[in-house]
């Protein structure tokens, strides 16, 4: 009886069986974070299967350091698997990635939005297609190197911000569904710093222990969005007017895709007394509309494709809406707000204090007013 009781205790991944009987697919990008996750679980005795996705033709990216899933990264992931002694597979997801992420990225920019392709990649490729592959491999769960925490709450799995605020990736994972969350694990979310992760990599003797972090979107070399979009959509950089919100034409531009809401530098309209910012983009008229900083302020933010991770159904909000904190950009702290549900997976966020540079195409992520819980979010629409 005692032996049976011991065996039924949850393992470190919260599953009711010994590690050696638990198969875990680890999504390996070739970087230090996912490599440490795979090594950590292998050392604990789990049946680890490493999987790396080839997301685009990496031949052109071989010289680009730190790019996710480039040829060097696939090689690095394979070396980690060899070091720790578990199987590793490379899956060709190029077509899925192009259709689900790259094409929408280009079309969103052409529509005057500022997209976040890393969220779409998590949502549509890693946590959908790869997750199904993990199930096909009869894995009990899938683990990633994201800095975020998952807890088992009274109403099911909960998503929480990482212990290290500087590494927290909750903004990029807001669209994770409850069903996906029940299958996913994030072993690094409790670490207090990236230094801890690198120390673990060194302890395991991993060849990527000192590898630099990736800074760019994996398919955008050197952060040049416009160059990528021009390649994907020839003719996308048609010139047009730079127009003040009062109607004055101040100059010309070389393509709406070269500008983002809130931008101040590089407008090419010298001679103005007060600083001007990009207020909005109008791809139909090919206009970049600029104005003073105060014109950037917004208090009402329309959202679509809302994903809700609260315990109560989203539609059951009180008349005044859900009280939350929201983040409208990945680099900004959460601010107090109310979210009012609308039909068709839409919502309107009312910010208690106006935010500057709220841009269509970005995510608006919901957090509990107190504590670390992530309550979901949605995609910012044009007002």
Active site residues per annotation: 121, 218
**Cα 253-257-259 angle, rounded to 5 deg:** 65
Find, among 373, 310, 372, the residue nearest to 347 by Cα: 310
Find, among 302, 304, 303, 307, the residue nearest to 127 by Cα: 307
Question: Using an 8 Å Cβ cutoff, are 162 and 148 in contact?
Answer: yes
Find, among 52, 43, 51, 34, the residue nearest to 12 by Cα: 43
The residue ranges of DSSP E strands in 180-334, in sequence order, are 184-185, 240-244, 249-253, 277-282, 287-291, 297-308, 322-327
- In whole angstroms, what is the distance from residue 250 CA to residue 259 CA? 15
- In whole angstroms, what is the distance from residue 326 CA to residue 368 CA? 9
- In whole angstroms, what is the distance from residue 356 CA to residue 368 CA? 22
Let me know if 353 is exposed, middle or buried by CB neighbors in 10 A (0-12, 13-18, 19+).
exposed
Question: Using an 8 Å Cβ cutoff, are 381 and 360 in contact?
Answer: yes
- In whole angstroms, what is the distance from residue 10 CA to residue 153 CA? 15
CA atoms within 13 A on the CB side of 334: 25
Question: Using an 8 Å Cβ cutoff, are 29 and 169 in contact?
Answer: no
- In whole angstroms, what is the distance from residue 49 CA to residue 42 CA? 9
Sign of CA dihedral 160, 164, 165, 169: negative
- Classify residue 126 by its DSSP letter: I
């Amino acid at each position: 009886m005692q032996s049976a009781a011991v065996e039924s205790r949850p393992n470190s991944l919260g599953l009711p069986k010994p590690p050696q009987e638990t198969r875990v697919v680890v999504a390996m990008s070739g970087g230090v974070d996912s490599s440490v996750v795979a090594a950590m679980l292998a050392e604990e005795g789990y049946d680890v299967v490493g999987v790396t996705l080839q997301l685009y033709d990496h031949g052109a990216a071989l010289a680009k350091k730190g790019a996710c899933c480039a040829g060097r990264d696939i090689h690095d992931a394979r070396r980690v698997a060899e070091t720790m002694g578990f199987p590793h597979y490379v899956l060709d997801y190029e077509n899925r990635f192009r259709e689900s992420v790259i094409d929408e990225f280009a079309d969103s920019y052409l529509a005057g939005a500022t997209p976040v392709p890393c969220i779409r990649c998590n949502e549509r490729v890693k946590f959908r297609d790869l997750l199904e592959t993990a199930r096909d491999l009869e894995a009990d769960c899938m683990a990633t190197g994201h800095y975020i925490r998952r807890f088992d709450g009274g109403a099911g799995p909960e998503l929480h911000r990482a212990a290290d605020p500087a590494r927290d990736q909750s903004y990029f994972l807001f669209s994770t569904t409850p069903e996906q969350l029940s299958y996913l694990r994030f072993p690094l979310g409790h670490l207090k710093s990236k230094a801890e992760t690198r120390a673990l990599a060194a302890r395991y003797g991993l060849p990527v222990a000192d590898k630099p972090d990736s800074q760019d979107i994996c398919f955008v070399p050197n952060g040049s969005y416009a160059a990528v979009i021009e390649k994907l959509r020839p003719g996308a950089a048609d010139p047009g007017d730079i127009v003040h919100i009062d109607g004055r034409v101040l100059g010309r531009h070389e393509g709406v895709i070269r500008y983002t809401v809130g931008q101040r530098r590089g407008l090419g309209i010298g001679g103005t007394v007060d600083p001007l910012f990009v207020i909005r983009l109008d791809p139909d008229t090919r206009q970049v509309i600029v104005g003073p900083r105060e014109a950037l302020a917004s208090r009402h933010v329309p959202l679509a494709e809302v994903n809700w991770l609260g315990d109560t159904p989203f539609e059951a909000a009180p008349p005044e809406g859900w009280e939350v904190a929201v983040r409208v950009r990945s680099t900004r702290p959460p601010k107090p707000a109310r979210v009012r549900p609308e039909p068709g997976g839409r919502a309107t966020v009312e910010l208690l204090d106006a935010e500057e540079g709220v841009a269509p195409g970005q995510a608006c992520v919901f957090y509990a007013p107190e504590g670390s819980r992530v309550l979901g979010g949605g995609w910012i629409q044009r007002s």
